[in-house]
């Protein structure tokens, strides 16, 4: 063989080596890019799992309350006991649905992430496939020169060993290309399966949420029916009415005494400023004013220490002023209620909430949402019972809102 022929073969051989090397570099580059994708899935999945645990806990609590309610019903327990359990059960159902909404949102976020990851993996797979196809096409086009002929055309033993090592590397690289492609295909299949699983889970939670909404509507109707029954059974439940009235009186004295005691502290100074209306401005209708009245059920002439404000269930309740929460609890008379101390013997009370969002000792700013309007405790329908204590005693809340239009349910304008 002539020297020129050997040089020509050498050029072709090195061209083949260079082409293989370029293919390998491109594949490594593609795989490297996708290897650096941030692992957002693990964090999001953790959030989903946390919500699942919360949902499981509140669902178990709701079932316990349901069993307790059935037991009370069989025992013919007092109507107020049943209403209290129903209040707690409705609150648990609302919390359960809230967590379900959060879980659905988290699942949708997870689905979005998985869709992005799947699209990137599919792009990675397609890129690898194109590189493999180019490699196979190159091998087919230059198949007339075998690896064996390349080895046999070596000029000496040292050249033979060099060519052998290069060919060995090319074969290993080709195998790694196919292995990487197979692994990417497996990842794509696994990601598709995981995505379908998340789709199914989100759909199941949405169906469960709808079922829980229907169930809660039935529970609310059941509570309203029991409350109406309690009102009608005047002769048989006079003792219960009297105990509720006594509980209201005890709370009135307890809250006032607590505020007055705090006012005695030398560091207790009123935070200052005007009160903010405790509901959205559109909810400015008073259904029951402050002042002496004959109790509609017990017939007792007593002070109504606040105002009842018309609002639908779930309406946001705002802190009328900045201060410290000194009470956040449930009571048979007031249901879920909160008391905020504003310093200097000034405090506000918010009763019959469907849900409380603040706890005792918490510092709140004026306008913070502290809960939602409901019909818990001794209440025949959704509304906010709002009280203001000032200078050591209860005052008419309407007098503290000059310039804000407040209307009675009969159309009279109460504010001046």
Which DSSP string do the residues of 73-134 spell out, in sequence order?
HHHT--HHHHHHHHHHHHHHHHHHHHHHHHHHHHHHHHHHHHHHHHHHHHHHHHHHHHHHHH
> What does the pLDDT read at residue 161?
76
Select from 329, 321, 328 the least CA-distant residue to 397.
Answer: 321
79 and 126 belong to one structural domain: yes
Confidence label for 84 from pLDDT (cuts 50, 70 and 90): confident
User: Alpha carbon of 105 to those of 57, 130, 210, 236: distances in Å?
Assistant: 19, 38, 15, 49
Identify each DSSP E strand in 183-225 by its residue range. Answer: none
Which ranges constitute the DSSP H helices of 278-337?
none
- Average pLDDT on 188-215 reads 83
255 and 362 belong to one structural domain: yes
Residue 167 is assigned to a structural domain of this protein: yes
Select from 79, 63, 120 the least CA-distant residue to 233.
Answer: 79
pLDDT surpassing 90 at residue 274: yes
23 and 160 belong to one structural domain: yes
> What does the pLDDT read at residue 12?
41
pLDDT surpassing 70 at residue 150: no
> What does the pLDDT read at residue 348?
95
Confidence label for 42 from pLDDT (cuts 50, 70 and 90): very low
Confidence label for 16 from pLDDT (cuts 50, 70 and 90): very low
- Average pLDDT on 292-303 reads 70
Confidence label for 15 from pLDDT (cuts 50, 70 and 90): very low
Residue 261 is assigned to a structural domain of this protein: yes
222 and 309 belong to one structural domain: no
The string of pLDDT tens digits covering residues 228-250 is: 776 665 555 556 666 677 777 77
78 and 186 belong to one structural domain: yes
159 and 286 belong to one structural domain: no
> What does the pLDDT read at residue 130?
82
> What does the pLDDT read at residue 371?
95
> What does the pLDDT read at residue 9?
41
Query: When comparing pLDDT for 310 and 29, which is higher?
Result: 310
Instruction: Tell me the chain's radius of gyration from C-alpha atoms.
Output: 37
243 and 203 belong to one structural domain: no
Distance between CA atoms of 384 and 387, rounded to whole angstroms?
10
Most confident of 48-52, 146-150, 335-339, 375-379: 335-339
Select from 382, 339, 335 the least CA-distant residue to 86.
Answer: 335
Distance between CA atoms of 128 and 142, rounded to whole angstroms?
21
- Average pLDDT on 280-295 reads 88
106 and 156 belong to one structural domain: yes
Residue 324 is assigned to a structural domain of this protein: yes
Query: When comparing pLDDT for 279 and 25, which is higher?
Result: 279
pLDDT surpassing 90 at residue 62: no
- Among residues 229, 255, 274, the one where a domain terminates is 229
Which residue in this structure is represented by tokens 């229907």?
A: 214
- Among residues 194, 210, 229, the one where a domain terminates is 229
198 and 253 belong to one structural domain: no
- Average pLDDT on 348-374 reads 95
Most confident of 21-25, 28-32, 144-148, 176-180: 176-180
Residue 416 is assigned to a structural domain of this protein: no
- Average pLDDT on 35-45 reads 45
> What does the pLDDT read at residue 82?
72
Residue 213 is assigned to a structural domain of this protein: yes
Dihedral angle sign, alpha carbons of residues 315, 321, 324, 329: negative
Tell me what percent of the residues of the chain surpass a pLDDT of 70. 70
Mean pLDDT of the residues in the chain: 76
Axis-axis angle for helices 79-141, 157-232 (nearest 10): 160
Listed range (53-57, 169-173, 406-410) with the worst mean pLDDT: 53-57
Q: DSSP secondary-structure letter at 360?
A: T
Select from 269, 199, 279, 251 the least CA-distant residue to 394.
Answer: 251
359 and 210 belong to one structural domain: no
CATH number at residue 275: 2.70.70.10
Residue 225 is assigned to a structural domain of this protein: yes
Query: When comparing pLDDT for 343 and 299, which is higher?
Result: 343
Residue 413 is assigned to a structural domain of this protein: no
Q: Which domain holds residue 357?
A: 238-408
> What does the pLDDT read at residue 11?
34
Residue 358 is assigned to a structural domain of this protein: yes
pLDDT surpassing 50 at residue 119: yes
Half-sphere exposure of 143 (CA within 13 A, CB side): 6
282 and 137 belong to one structural domain: no
Select from 246, 184, 262 the least CA-distant residue to 378.
Answer: 246
Contact of 330 with 351, CB cutoff 8 Å: no
User: Is the full-model pTM beyond 0.75?
Assistant: no
What total of structural domains would you count in the chain?
Answer: 2
- Among residues 200, 229, 258, the one where a domain terminates is 229
> What does the pLDDT read at residue 261?
82
pLDDT surpassing 90 at residue 336: yes
> Any idea how long the chain is?
416
Half-sphere exposure of 176 (CA within 13 A, CB side): 14
> What does the pLDDT read at residue 181?
78
Confidence label for 265 from pLDDT (cuts 50, 70 and 90): confident
Angle at 288 between CA 256 and CA 351, to 5 degrees: 45
Name the token pair of 121.
Answer: 């993996």
pLDDT surpassing 80 at residue 164: no
Which residue in this structure is represented by tokens 């020509």?
A: 8
Tell me what percent of the residues of the chain surpass a pLDDT of 90. 25
171 and 317 belong to one structural domain: no
């Amino acid at each position: 063989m002539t020297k020129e022929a050997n040089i020509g073969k050498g050029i072709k051989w090195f061209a083949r080596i260079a082409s293989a090397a370029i293919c390998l570099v491109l594949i490594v580059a593609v795989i490297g890019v996708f290897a650096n994708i941030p692992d957002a899935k693990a964090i999001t999945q953790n959030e989903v799992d946390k919500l699942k645990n919360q949902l499981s806990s509140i669902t178990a609590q709701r079932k316990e309350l349901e069993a307790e309610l059935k037991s009370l019903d069989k025992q013919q327990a007092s109507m107020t006991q049943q209403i209290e359990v129903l209040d707690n059960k409705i609150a648990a159902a609302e919390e359960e649905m809230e967590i379900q909404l959060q879980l659905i949102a988290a699942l949708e976020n997870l689905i979005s992430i998985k869709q992005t990851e799947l699209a990137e993996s599919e792009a990675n797979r397609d890129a690898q496939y194109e590189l493999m196809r180019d490699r196979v096409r190159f091998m087919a086009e230059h198949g007339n020169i075998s690896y064996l002929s390349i080895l046999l055309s070596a000029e000496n033993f040292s050249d033979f060993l060099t060519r052998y090592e290069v060919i060995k590397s090319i074969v290993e690289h080709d195998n790694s290309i196919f292995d990487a492609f197979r692994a990417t295909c497996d990842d794509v299949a696994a990601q598709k399966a995981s995505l379908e699983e998340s789709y199914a889970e989100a759909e199941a939670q949405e169906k469960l949420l709808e079922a829980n909404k229907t169930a809660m509507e039935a529970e609310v109707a059941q509570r309203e029916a029991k409350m109406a029954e309690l009102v009608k059974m005047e002769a048989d439940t006079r003792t219960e009415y009297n105990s509720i009235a006594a509980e209201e009186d005890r709370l009135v004295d307890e809250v006032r005494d607590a505020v007055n005691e705090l006012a005695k502290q030398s560091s207790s100074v009123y935070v200052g400023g005007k009160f903010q209306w405790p509901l959205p401005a559109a909810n400015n209708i008073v259904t029951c004013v402050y002042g002496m009245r004959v109790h509609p059920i017990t017939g007792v002439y007593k002070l109504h220490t606040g105002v009842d404000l018309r609002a639908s269930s779930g309406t946001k309740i705002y802190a009328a002023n900045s201060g410290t929460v000194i009470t956040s609890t449930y009571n048979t008379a007031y249901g879920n209620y909160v008391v905020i101390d504003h310093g200097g013997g000034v405090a506000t009370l918010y009763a019959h909430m469907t849900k409380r969002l603040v706890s005792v000792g918490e510092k709140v700013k004026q306008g913070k949402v502290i809960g939602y309007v409901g019909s818990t405790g001794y209440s025949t329908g959704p509304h906010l019972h709002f009280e203001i204590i000032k200078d050591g005693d209860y005052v008419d809340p309407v007098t503290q809102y000059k310039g804000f239009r407040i209307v009675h349910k009969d159309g009279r304008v109460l504010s001046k």
